[in-house]
């Protein structure tokens, strides 16, 4: 049997445990641990009940640095593994595959400890009720934390000697979990639940973001700093059409400009290879936590393109294209889909693949170019990271550095380009970080939308081809009987799709339908939406569950409330429904979108940073722009020109649909081509202006 690899890329030998048959990179990393790991499933759960043993649930993901640390310290240690095997049923879960399990038990850990993170370590009764939890536990006691083995001993004794106390704790935590997931319990029956859905609510929520905005370095709050794209997207809408006050518009412009510039200039952005790391450990975006996630890069790409469309800053489009280049180069599978992430570590050290010293620059570039490149990228003898190394960053804006060197910006980039190519080529010879090679439906869907945005902003065919190929892969490999599956690896797909898988893929299909002449995108979008509405409906509170009605029964059925690292399935579903209502004239879609938005409206003012994407969906619903139907018989340069014109400026509430003549959708009914050429119909409420063959007419429309 083929040996698994560690996160360092080393081969693991010896006796494999049950994880060897899994497809998750993260689970396979633990396949040769001496711990008797089980994947989550009937075998482990039945063993816990039969032997009356508590469950030790360990949750993480392949790119997680501290997950690797805990594995090396504890799970590879024979003594620790023996204790785990004797006293517990040990279950290892990839949080990205089983997001439902992660959602439930992360809330439990946060309830019990006040904080969360990964690796997550939770102890459960055989009935799956949590009674103790935490994150990383060290091998030896330190920083006020017990040694992991001390914890194992104490919890095992509690299970044997104080069972009633343990069961009371687990029962209380489980009841709290159910309340946490209930919106009605959160609002405590207050009359504020009746908050109307109106423009003023969105403005108040958006303006609350200004209170937490970092005026110096951009972003929100202090370190660690995450790229909260939904907040930026909401500010873009304020600049464009939500805000009528010049001073407020200026404040949101500052928020967007400072944040997008500082992130692009910082070490969080891979300056020579493209792509963003998960977060910055400091306020300045200087030193990243070096893991690169597919979803972050998809969301950031779209935000940078939208910023470019609205404010015209070419630097942001260049940044977006560097993301697309990175994803195509390092995360694309042979089948046209995308892998999940790149690890932070290589050779057992965080960031080693990405950082440089002046001596390394000199060796790669030669003396003259090295001195200049060190100045540009802030590479010094003392370094800004570990062991005298530096994370590359722009010490000033490209415009300022060009001025310092008596150059215009184009000349600056022309000099920098060959330097970057040499640095990248040299870096490629290093030992690479590990790659998580599972394919997730939801994250791939976000990336499809990003590539469509890249195409409509630049007209580059490679982007739309990439989006098409990935969507076709999902339809071929991750759809079965009109249902979506969650994950694909080693040639097989598995696990029921979650709400986010349906919502994000429908969004991707609608985006594709706005840029590509293929009827299957719209047909699939409507079909999957109908399945989603049936399978995920919450008859109790009116929202949407995170899991389908035929999903495995867990200790509680999670709902999809908040926008986090990725948008909530609810927020994306609401926007999809609003768009489909405009496409089909199906009032049921419109009603369902409104119900979802009204359900969360009471929380918009209080928690704007947790509902950023849902607020954007509410704006789409309240302030619809034109519906543009572009009808053509085949792909052509004329059609491409018209698509490019339709997307020519920032109009987030516009619906663009490209189609062959069809009567399948109300917006497209009786819309023939004129003069046998691609023809655009600009409509509002299914009433259309005179059709045009002219891309220039669409550009005039965009010139609002």
CA angle 234, 704, 447 (to 5 degrees): 45
- Cα–Cα distance measured from residue 575 to residue 618, given in angstroms and rounded to the nearest whole number: 8
Mean pLDDT over each residue of the chain, to the nearest integer: 94
User: Is the pLDDT score of 28 beyond 50?
Assistant: yes
- Cα–Cα distance measured from residue 117 to residue 132, given in angstroms and rounded to the nearest whole number: 15
Question: Considering the entire predicted model, what is its pTM?
Answer: 0.95
Q: What is the DSSP letter of 19?
A: G
Q: Give the CB-side neighbour count of residue 521, counting CA atoms within 13 A.
A: 26
The structure tokens listed for 50 are 């039969």
User: Is the pLDDT score of 105 beyond 70?
Assistant: yes
160: Cα separation from own chain's centroid: 42
The CATH number of residue 539's host domain is: 1.50.10.10
* Same domain for 653 and 593: no
Mean pLDDT (whole number) for 14-18: 91
The CATH number of residue 108's host domain is: 3.40.30.10
Cite the beta strand spans of 325-410 per DSSP E. 341-342, 345-346, 349-350
- Cα–Cα distance measured from residue 279 to residue 286, given in angstroms and rounded to the nearest whole number: 10
User: Is the pLDDT score of 151 beyond 80?
Assistant: yes
- Cα–Cα distance measured from residue 352 to residue 358, given in angstroms and rounded to the nearest whole number: 15
* Same domain for 531 and 388: no
Mean pLDDT (whole number) for 428-444: 97
Burial 247-261 (b: 16+ CB within 10 A, else e): ebbebbbebbbbbbb
pLDDT for 191: 37
Question: Domain limits at 399?
Answer: 358-429
Which SS3 state, helix, strand or coil, does residue 124 take?
Answer: strand
pLDDT for 184: 64
* Same domain for 25 and 156: yes
* Same domain for 445 and 425: no
The structure tokens listed for 35 are 């711990």
* Same domain for 597 and 634: no
pLDDT for 663: 85
Percent of the chain having pLDDT more than 90?
A: 89
Does 249 fall in a domain? Answer: yes
* Same domain for 403 and 460: no
Cis peptide before 441 (omega within 30 of 0): no
Kind plus residue range of the DSSP H or E element containing 134: strand 130-134
* Same domain for 312 and 384: no
Nearest C-alpha neighbor of 278 from the set 266, 262, 261, 295: 295
Does 143 fall in a domain? Answer: yes
From 197-211, 298-312, 540-554, the region with the lowest mean pLDDT: 197-211
Q: Give the CB-side neighbour count of residue 559, counting CA atoms within 13 A.
A: 22
Kind plus residue range of the DSSP H or E element containing 630: strand 627-631
* Same domain for 362 and 346: no
* Same domain for 411 and 443: no
In sequence order, which residues have a C-beta less than 8 Å from that of residue 476 and are 6 or more positions away?
none
User: Is the pLDDT score of 192 beyond 50?
Assistant: no
pLDDT for 245: 86
Does 137 fall in a domain? Answer: yes
* Same domain for 230 and 327: yes
pLDDT for 13: 63
pLDDT for 526: 98
Reported residue count of the chain is 704
Does 665 fall in a domain? Answer: yes
* Same domain for 235 and 322: yes
* 608-624 tens-digit pLDDT: 999 999 999 999 999 99
User: Is the pLDDT score of 189 beyond 60?
Assistant: no
pLDDT for 3: 45
The structure tokens listed for 103 are 């959602």
End position of a domain, from candidates 375, 396, 429: 429
Going by pLDDT thresholds of 50, 70 and 90, the confidence category of residue 187 is low
User: Is the pLDDT score of 8 beyond 80?
Assistant: no
pLDDT for 1: 32
* Same domain for 119 and 208: no
User: Is the pLDDT score of 7 beyond 80?
Assistant: no
pLDDT for 468: 98
Mean pLDDT (whole number) for 108-124: 96
CA angle 272, 276, 279 (to 5 degrees): 130
- Cα–Cα distance measured from residue 282 to residue 261, given in angstroms and rounded to the nearest whole number: 16
Does 502 fall in a domain? Answer: yes
Going by pLDDT thresholds of 50, 70 and 90, the confidence category of residue 534 is very high
Does 7 fall in a domain? Answer: no
Number of domains observed in the structure of the chain: 4
Pairing outcome for strands 279-280 and 341-342 = unpaired
Does 11 fall in a domain? Answer: no
Going by pLDDT thresholds of 50, 70 and 90, the confidence category of residue 75 is very high
Does 12 fall in a domain? Answer: no
End position of a domain, from candidates 597, 622, 647: 622
- Cα–Cα distance measured from residue 360 to residue 381, given in angstroms and rounded to the nearest whole number: 11
Cite the beta strand spans of 514-572 per DSSP E. none
End position of a domain, from candidates 622, 647, 680: 622
User: Is the pLDDT score of 164 beyond 90?
Assistant: yes
* 302-356 tens-digit pLDDT: 999 999 999 999 999 999 999 999 999 999 999 999 999 999 999 989 999 999 9
Burial (Cβ within 10 Å: 0-12, 13-18, ≥19) of residue 425: exposed
Mean pLDDT (whole number) for 540-564: 94
């Amino acid at each position: 049997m083929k040996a698994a690899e560690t996160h360092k890329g080393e081969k693991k030998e010896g006796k494999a445990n049950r994880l060897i048959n899994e497809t998750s990179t993260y689970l396979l990393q633990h396949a040769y641990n001496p711990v008797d790991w089980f994947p989550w499933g009937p075998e482990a759960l039945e063993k816990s009940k039969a032997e009356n043993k508590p469950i030790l649930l360990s949750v993480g993901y392949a790119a997680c640095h501290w997950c690797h640390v805990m594995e090396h310290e504890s799970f590879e240690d024979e003594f620790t593994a023996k204790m785990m095997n004797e006293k517990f049923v040990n279950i290892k879960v990839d949080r990205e595959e089983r997001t439902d399990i992660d959602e439930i038990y992360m809330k439990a850990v946060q309830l019990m400890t006040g904080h969360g993170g990964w690796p997550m370590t939770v102890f459960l009764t055989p009935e799956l009720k949590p009674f103790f939890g935490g994150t990383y536990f060290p091998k030896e006691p330190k920083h006020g934390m017990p040694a992991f083995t001390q914890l194992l001993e104490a919890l095992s004794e509690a299970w044997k000697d104080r069972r009633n106390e343990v069961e009371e704790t687990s029962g209380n935590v489980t009841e709290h979990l159910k309340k946490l997931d209930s919106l009605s319990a959160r609002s405590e029956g207050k009359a504020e639940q009746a908050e109307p859905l109106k423009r003023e609510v969105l403005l108040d929520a958006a303006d609350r973001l200004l209170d937490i905005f970092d005026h110096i370095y951009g972003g929100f709050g202090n370190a660690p700093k995450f790229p909260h794209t939904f907040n930026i997207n909401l500010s873009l809408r304020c600049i464009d059409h939500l805000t009528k006050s010049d001073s407020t518009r200026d404040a949101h412009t500052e928020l967007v400009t400072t944040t997008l510039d500082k992130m692009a200039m910082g070490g969080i952005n891979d300056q020579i290879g493209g792509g963003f790391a998960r977060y910055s450990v400091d306020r300045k975006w200087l030193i990243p936590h070096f893991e690169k996630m597919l979803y972050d890069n998809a969301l950031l790409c779209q935000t940078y393109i939208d910023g470019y469309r609205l404010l015209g800053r070419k630097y942001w489009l260049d940044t977006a294209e560097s993301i697309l280049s990175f994803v195509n180069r390092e995360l694309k599978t042979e089948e046209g889909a995308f892998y999940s992430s790149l690890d932070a570590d290589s050779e057992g050290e965080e960031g080693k693949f990405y950082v440089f010293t002046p001596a390394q620059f000199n060796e790669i570039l030669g003396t003259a170019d090295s001195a200049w490149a060190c100045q540009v990228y802030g590479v010094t003898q003392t370094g800004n990271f570990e062991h005298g190394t530096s994370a590359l960053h722009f010490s000033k804006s490209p415009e300022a550095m060009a001025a310092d060197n008596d150059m215009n910006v184009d000349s600056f980039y022309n000099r920098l380009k060959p330097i970057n190519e040499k640095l990248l080529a040299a870096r490629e010879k290093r030992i690479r970080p590990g790659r998580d090679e599972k394919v997730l439906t939801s994250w791939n869907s976000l990336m499809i939308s990003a590539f469509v945005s890249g195409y409509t902003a630049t007209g580059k065919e490679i982007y739309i081809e990439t989006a098409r190929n990935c969507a076709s892969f999902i339809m071929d490999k991750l759809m079965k009987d009109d249902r979506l599956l969650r994950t694909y690896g080693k040639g097989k797909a598995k696990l029921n799709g979650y709400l986010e898988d349906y919502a994000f893929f429908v969004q991707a299909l609608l985006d594709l339908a706005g840029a590509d002449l293929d009827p299957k995108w719209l047909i699939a979008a409507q079909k999957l939406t109908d399945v989603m509405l049936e399978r995920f409906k919450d008859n109790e509170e009116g929202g949407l569950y995170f899991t389908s009605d035929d999903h495995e029964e867990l200790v509680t059925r999670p709902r999809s409330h908040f926008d986090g690292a990725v948008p909530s399935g609810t927020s994306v579903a609401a926007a999809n429904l609003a768009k489909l209502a405009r496409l089909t004239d199906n009032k049921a879609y419109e009603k369902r979108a409104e119900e979802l938005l009204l359900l969360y409206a009471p929380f918009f003012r209080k928690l704007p940073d947790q509902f950023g994407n849902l607020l954007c969906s509410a704006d789409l619903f309240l302030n619809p722009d034109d519906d543009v139907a572009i009808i053509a018989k085949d792909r052509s340069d004329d059609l491409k020109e018209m698509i490019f014109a339709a997307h020519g400026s920032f109009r987030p509430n516009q619906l663009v649909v490209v189609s062959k003549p069809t009567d399948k959708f109300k917006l497209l009914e009786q819309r023939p081509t004129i003069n046998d050429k691609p023809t655009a119909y600009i409509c509002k409420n299914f009433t259309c202006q005179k059709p045009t063959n002219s891309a220039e007419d669409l550009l005039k429309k965009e010139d609002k």
